[in-house]
Structure 1
Amino acid sequence: MDATHAGKRGLRVAVTGASGDFGKLLMPLLEQDPAVASVLVLDVARPEGSKVDYHRVDLTRHDAESELTEALSEQPVDVLYHLAFSYGAMRNGSLAHELEVAGTINVLAAAGRVKLPRLVVPSLTAVYGARGQHPALLREEAQLWGCPQSRFVTDKVQVEGQVRAFRERNPDTRVLVLRFAPVLGPSVDNPASRMLKRSVVPTLLGFDPLWQAIHEEDAARALHLALRAEASGEFNIVGQGVLPLSGLIRQAGSRPLPLPGPLYRAALHALEAVGAAGAAGLPIALLDYIHYSWVADGEQAESALGFIPIHHARDAAAALRRS
């Protein structure tokens, strides 16, 4: 039974990663949605909410698949939001990889066993990579070049491959992958928000790539729209307009500091050597994204999901001043 045909009993929604950035954005909307009867939270921490039915599940454990299968089998589930991905600062890359890649294997295996009607997974427009050869607008069918030097991006590309293979094996499950531009706002914590919160943001001298951003309120609406959308596939979720990186930095209340490439790298390496890479706001591995433009086309999300962003990229960046 799809989420659009749950009948009078109301929708039963399952969520992994309810305590993460995307989970915190989505959960209040599910609580407020009168069509949602209950929210099965599969997580290591219990969130607040009158509709919450909590099952403690650690996706990195060897028995996570069986625990997920059992929890999803107790009552019919109309949709699963798999949101258990790391966006905050995390020094243990192996643990993040285990959560995202191995955790997704467990989630998909359980979803296949219970014949889940609908699956929603967030991703990033960063999976397209940042390259000088990119077209002006990146559409969903574009190759996912990723960023080989970045575990953060590489894991997302790998997860997308897992989800694509799941969709091919399970044609009766409606699968939606939402590729978000950098999400900015008072309550999110990700590489872009940490970079833009710095009082001074190092940039590359001679380069000012175009960036997109999406306000956290728009990101939450896009997630909620996926609950009922008669669509499947990948969708770029972007805010209104684009800005050069320097403009985005200024809108966030910061100041860009253009540095020659060798000096920029030397500065980040020095901070990394003393254990302060986060202080620079941008890992060295993500340097391509302040070198080249990466602009995704949001037309398909509008036509298929009905998603129209309310906020401009400059509003999303300005929201960081209040965080």
Structure 2
Amino acid sequence: MGRRCRVPRVAVAASPSPGERSASLPEPPPSPPKERVAMARVVLVTGVSGPLAARVAQTLSENPGVGRVIGADSSPPLAGVEGIEYQNVDLHDGSLDRIVAESGAELVLHLGLDATETSDRADGLLGTLRVLGAAQRSDTVRRLVVRSNAALNADDTAEVERHVHALRRRRPDLSVAVMRLANLIGPSVDTPLTRYMHSRVVPTVMGRDPRVQFLHEDDGAEALVRMALCEETGVFDACGADTVPLSHCLRRVGGQRLPVPARGLRALRGVARHGRIGYAGASAARSVEVGPHVSRLDPAPLCAALGWAPAYSSIEAFESYAHSRGRVARGAGLRPIHVLALARATFGR
């Protein structure tokens, strides 16, 4: 780990509380020794078309030690996001290198790995490689924070972190931190997992009830801002320390479970790959299939590094989400062709 740092209190707007906090939530660890950290005058944040990155960028723009915040993405941020300069980025040209060079960015946050409905895995990995390459070639970048999606539906986490490790070997002078975010949840969150849970019929693996770790969107934004404004290096898990059974999540949001053999879920993903069902639900279904084999995240190193702990446990974060959503309209769920695919896979016909 890098040296400890003192991070100023980050003013991140909170979502409505789901109720009284759990008495079992651990108290944040003591703050590290006081040490002044030089602020970056120019900050570049990627992925600002997503709500989390836009929120982080806006919060950084309000910090008195930050002079300029540039938001880069292939589409502009949502209306109402203030304090950032938007720059359009094409992953297939040299625009990102140009933006980094011309802006003189000292701090780069790569948050462009949001798992949206239309996200493309290849483009997500390409975007990360572009950011790492631009940081390596830059004469001004001295701090890099990379979001690594530790959610169950993130297939490219290990590959992203391998590339980051390679960058640290090539540029040992560069301060690099990787933030593994658990399944992000909250009133404004829309991910493959939330859409999966809100389907009319939710396929699950027969005989399995994976336990899920969540990170409330408020805590996710604050953790990223705090990490950006200090000099800690390494890989950190950001999550609630507890876990929530998937069966509990589905009961709370009213999804109808459909237990099927694991090969039935694989058949469903095959249908999805041919465009016959939304891939978001299918990719989350894969998460359910492999869920028991996913390592549990440990937030203790992050808490020790920042002198801070998430305000929401996993169960509290999920309850906040469930309370805000209520009984919303269900997704399309499974159509006859999907049920037929499941039946064929199940009975081998």
TM-score by length of 2: 0.72
Q: Is 1:107 aligned to 2:131, yes or no?
A: yes
- Opposite residue 112 of structure 2, the aligned amino acid is A
Quick check: 1:211–1:294 contact (8 Å CA) kept in 2? no
Shift of 1:75: 4.4
- Opposite residue 55 of structure 1, the aligned amino acid is Q
CA deviation vs aligned residue, 1:86-142 (integer Å, no higher than 9, x gap): 411237x4xx41x2222222222221222311001111225xx8xxxxxxxxxxxxx
Q: Distance in 1 between matches of 2:276 and 2:84?
A: 39
- Name the residue aligned to 1:161: 162
Consecutive unaligned residues of structure 2, counting only runs of 5 or more, are 1-35, 326-349
Q: Distance in 2 between matches of 1:159 and 1:258?
A: 33
- Name the residue aligned to 1:289: 290
Shift of 1:255: 4.4
CA deviation vs aligned residue, 1:235-265 (integer Å, no higher than 9, x gap): 0111242122212333444344433445555
Q: Distance in 1 between matches of 2:253 and 2:198?
A: 7
1:227 and 1:125, CA in 2 relative to 1: closer, same or farther beyond 3 A?
Answer: same
- Opposite residue 61 of structure 1, the aligned amino acid is H
Q: Distance in 2 between matches of 1:162 and 1:262?
A: 32
Secondary structure of the 2:163 match is helix
- Opposite residue 153 of structure 1, the aligned amino acid is D
Moved more, 109-118 or 214-223: 109-118
- Name the residue aligned to 1:180: 181
Q: Is 1:123 aligned to 2:155, yes or no?
A: no
Q: Is 1:235 aligned to 2:236, yes or no?
A: yes
Q: Distance in 2 between matches of 1:253 and 1:229?
A: 42
**Which among 75, 85, 92 is matched to residue 61 of structure 1?**
92
**Which among 63, 74, 80 is matched to residue 44 of structure 1?**
74
Alignment of 1:247-262 (within 5 A): 247-262=248-263
Q: Alignment length, in residue pairs? A: 287
- Opposite residue 208 of structure 1, the aligned amino acid is D
- Opposite residue 175 of structure 2, the aligned amino acid is R
Q: Distance in 2 between matches of 1:199 and 1:313?
A: 24
Alignment of 1:23-34 (within 5 A): 23-34=53-64
Q: Which has the larger radius of gyration?
A: 2
Report the aligned-residue RMSD.
2.9
Moved more, 246-255 or 225-234: 246-255
- Name the residue aligned to 2:100: 72
- Opposite residue 107 of structure 2, the aligned amino acid is V
Q: Distance in 1 between matches of 2:159 and 2:273?
A: 26
Quick check: 1:84–1:100 contact (8 Å CA) kept in 2? yes
**Which among 33, 38, 52 is matched to residue 5 of structure 1?**
38
Quick check: 1:14–1:42 contact (8 Å CA) kept in 2? yes
CA deviation vs aligned residue, 1:246-285 (integer Å, no higher than 9, x gap): 1233344434443344555556656766711448565554
Secondary structure of the 2:130 match is helix
- Name the residue aligned to 2:215: 214
Q: Distance in 1 between matches of 2:255 and 2:318?
A: 10
- Name the residue aligned to 2:4: none
- Name the residue aligned to 1:22: 52
Consecutive unaligned residues of structure 1, counting only runs of 5 or more, are 130-149
Structure 1 vs Structure 2: percent identity of aligned residues? Answer: 30
Shift of 1:159: 1.9
- Name the residue aligned to 2:317: 316
- Name the residue aligned to 1:137: none
Secondary structure of the 2:203 match is strand
TM-score by length of 1: 0.77
Shift of 1:196: 2.1
Q: Distance in 2 between matches of 1:316 and 1:271?
A: 29
Quick check: 1:78–1:117 contact (8 Å CA) kept in 2? yes
- Name the residue aligned to 2:16: none
Q: Distance in 1 between matches of 2:96 and 2:253?
A: 40
Quick check: 1:239–1:311 contact (8 Å CA) kept in 2? yes
Q: Distance in 2 between matches of 1:49 and 1:283?
A: 29
Moved more, 71-80 or 205-214: 71-80
Secondary structure of the 2:86 match is strand
